[in-house]
Amino acid sequence: MVSSVNRETELILWFEEVRSIDVGLVGGKNSSLGEMIQQLASKGVNVPGGFATTAYAYRHFIKGAGLEPKLRKIFSDLDTDDMDNLQARGKQARSLILNTPFPQDLNDAITVAYKKMCERYSKGSDFCARFEGADKEECERHLDEVDVAVRSSATAEDLPEASFAGQQETYLNVHGIKGVLESCHKCFASLFTDRAIAYRVHNGFDHLDVALSVGVQKMVRSDLATSGVMFSIDTETGFKNAAFITGAYGLGENVVQGAVNPDEFVVFKPTLRLGKKPILERNLGSKHIKMVYAGGGKLTKNIDVPEELQNVYCISDEDVLQLARWAVIIEDHYSEVRGQLTPMDIEWAKDGQTGELFIVQARPETVQSQKAGNIIRAFTLKQKGKKLSVGRAVGEMIGQGTARVITDVTKINLFKEGEVLVTKRTDPDWEPIMKKASAIVTDQGGRTCHAAIIAREMGIPAVVGTGNATTAIATGQDVTVSCSEGEDGNIYEGLLPFEVLETSLDNIPETKTKILMNVGNPEQAFSLSNLPCDGVGLARLEFIIANHIKAHPKALIHFDELTDELVKQEIQELTHLYTDKSQFFVDKVASGIGMIAAAFYPNPVVVRMSDFKTNEYANLLGGKQFEPEEENPMIGWRGASRYYDPNYIEAFALECEAFKIVRNDMGLTNVIPMIPFCRTPEEGKKVIAELAKHDLRQGENGLQIYVMCELPSNVILADQFSEVFDGFSIGSNDLTQLTLGLDRDSALVAHIFDERNEGVKRMVKMAIEGAKANGRKIGICGQAPSDYPEFAQFLVELGIDSISLNPDTLLKTKLAIAEMEQKLGR
């Protein structure tokens, strides 16, 4: 995107095609576009060549034609809350612009610049060979007319505090000087679209203080390849260390406008800088249509994408990493220019003829980067109802109201303030009513589509890409839109109760005792990382396996040998992207661990390796074929005893492979594997040996291996376990049941279960003293400190190194521990 550079007398700025980028922020009104490109040229970011009209050119047009007083008169009685008034004033202003010719000097300057582009990008006689019939004849008529994208940028658009992307128009696949001049003229007129007018009123900009520049770029032939949008920040949580990339087939307008559900990728920036390959997450989008060049006088058209292409990712991992590297370069550059962190919103395209990637537009991200970091708002749904539709959650809020289903933008005058807008998709023409909605729900789109961007800017919950909302929800129906339950956004029937908890992070004291967090769901990790803690004391692999994999690891390894055809079919649906089903397990585990480790990097993240009991493993898809029946699974074949057992060793190898990817490929060396239910030091040595077979060698690359301290033998033999492991984490749940000799799953003896029992407390005391006596760190990751403040105080008095808490109790317990330490003089 070309900035509205305020050059005093220049009408046109030329930028060569270099391996660099021209973005929406150009370091100040008097900066030279060419100078800015040259500063970035050495950093290896590609941009198509072209030229731009300056902001001066726009003002020259407006003032020279005497349009300013006429426009002020048109807007003298503007009422943006009255849709009819807004539409009438907008139409009058656009007509005034379009019916006023460009001054001859501007007309000539654009013509000369375009002809220069045509000379540079002459296509050659074989260019039209791929066309047939009338399309080939049309191509030959325009052989010497370079195809360009005509993009607009207003001085009130793309500012760090106010973006409102898409307020002005963009035209793709424009040919010939007539088309270029018409498109530039339309771009000038688009400064007065209804949505742009409403936006300026909403943000306090004077209509005549705003100017516009038009960038004319050589088209990147992404109609033959792919394109998309990326952010150098996580769009939902504001996590600043992630780049979020989306992509689909064809020209980029479908992704921007939300006409397709794109592929999505999350990349971790800190270890990317170190040369690692930290793609944390991949989500496959449907990508059912793509925008391509059209013949017959039309500029573009949409065509269907073959099903086999819908079912694969549209770009390679190497492309994802290259785009993420550019996102880092762009963010770094403009952060330096502005003197503060400036996350960016960037559009990219891949040329199907050359295979090259290009950046075609960028602007500052204006939502998460502007939020106060000292307040945490948590939305919690108090009850659930009938689920009407599910899509991708935008933000983490909850909204509710009466639904209004509108599929035609000409009917937006029917919308009433406070209703829930339900539509197929939105574009900038919908913005005058979007600000009045209590929530927004769309059939189409991904997390970077227009509806998602505007919902974030306006602080409104949105669910996009539902596929069926306009048919599943009826106008007049009361609904609750919840984005507070992870990546899935749910629309429930009825007005369900919910609460909002605001927590200030000001004046949270530091503690000598390390305060860690128990994190189960990788989807919540970025959000939870905003809480003041020193890392993760317990991440359970079981959550990832049960919720993201759902199948028994051996059912994936031995997929062809499965005897239950229904189970086999269900696993096939889950793993349809994989010929090697076991790789599905590895990738999902690596992604889940990676998301959590990245969220808290470089602080330690202790990940407990799998600890399902046989009955729990049997309940996974295909599990019954591979699991024995045990009378008492709670103290049976679980934890460490599985890892070296010939009947499970191949499944444990998949876990090891995932840990290796996270630590070695992603560079997340803050991950500490922890071994559960390790009965003897000898068993611990066997597990350590198995890990080493998979290049997870204790001490190499900083690898530490912890053990759960949850059995009486772990306590009694703490000195011997210290010779095997680098640290301990007390599991108060299992330690309590095994000290008291009860089954914690039995309701008959549940009333006896209490971590505060004197016998349990003596075991905890022995464990802490035993670990410290042998120079090992020891913490606790069980439930007790979260539930009982007095138990937390007991641990502090014993000098425990760390306490890992549930997220909902972390702040209050940290405050209590700080008070305890002060009383103890620590």
Alpha carbon distances (Å) from 785 to 118, 611, 681, 736: 71, 22, 27, 13
Task: Kindly provide the b/e burial profile for residues 663-675, where b requires at least 16 CB atoms within 10 angstroms of the residue's own CB.
Answer: beebbbbbbbbbb
Question: In which element (H, E) is residue 518 found?
Answer: strand 514-519
- Let me know if 709 is a catalytic residue: no
Distance CA 367, CA 455 (A): 10
Cβ proximity of 640 and 608 under 8 Å: no
Q: Phi and psi for 51 in degrees, rounded to 5?
A: -145, 170
Tokens of 751: 């009333």
Strands 439-442 and 462-464, by their bridges, are: parallel
- Half-sphere exposure for 607 (CA within 13 Å, toward CB): 35
| Cβ count near 448 (within 10 Å) | 26
Catalytic residue among 450, 483, 533, 548: 450
CA dihedral in degrees (502, 504, 510, 513; nearest 10)?
A: -10
Strand partners, 517: 536, 805
Orientation angle between helical segments 104-120 and 176-189, nearest 10 degrees = 130
Cβ proximity of 117 and 216 under 8 Å: yes
Orientation angle between helical segments 83-98 and 67-74, nearest 10 degrees = 170
Distance CA 490, CA 483 (A): 7
Distance CA 318, CA 102 (A): 45
Chain position carrying tokens 């296509």: 123
Tokens of 310: 């819908």
Cβ proximity of 30 and 6 under 8 Å: yes
Distance CA 160, CA 750 (A): 56
Task: Kindly provide the b/e burial profile for residues 154-175, where b requires at least 16 CB atoms within 10 angstroms of the residue's own CB.
Answer: bbbbbbbebbbbbbbbbbbbbb
User: Closest by alpha carbon to 432, among 198, 203, 167, 87?
Assistant: 198
Strand partners, 730: 709, 780
Distance CA 356, CA 49 (A): 14
Cβ proximity of 121 and 353 under 8 Å: no
- Let me know if 142 is a catalytic residue: no
Chain position carrying tokens 């520049």: 213
Cβ proximity of 391 and 465 under 8 Å: yes
Cβ proximity of 518 and 806 under 8 Å: yes
Distance CA 12, CA 5 (A): 10
Cβ proximity of 53 and 152 under 8 Å: no
Catalytic residue IDs = 450, 781
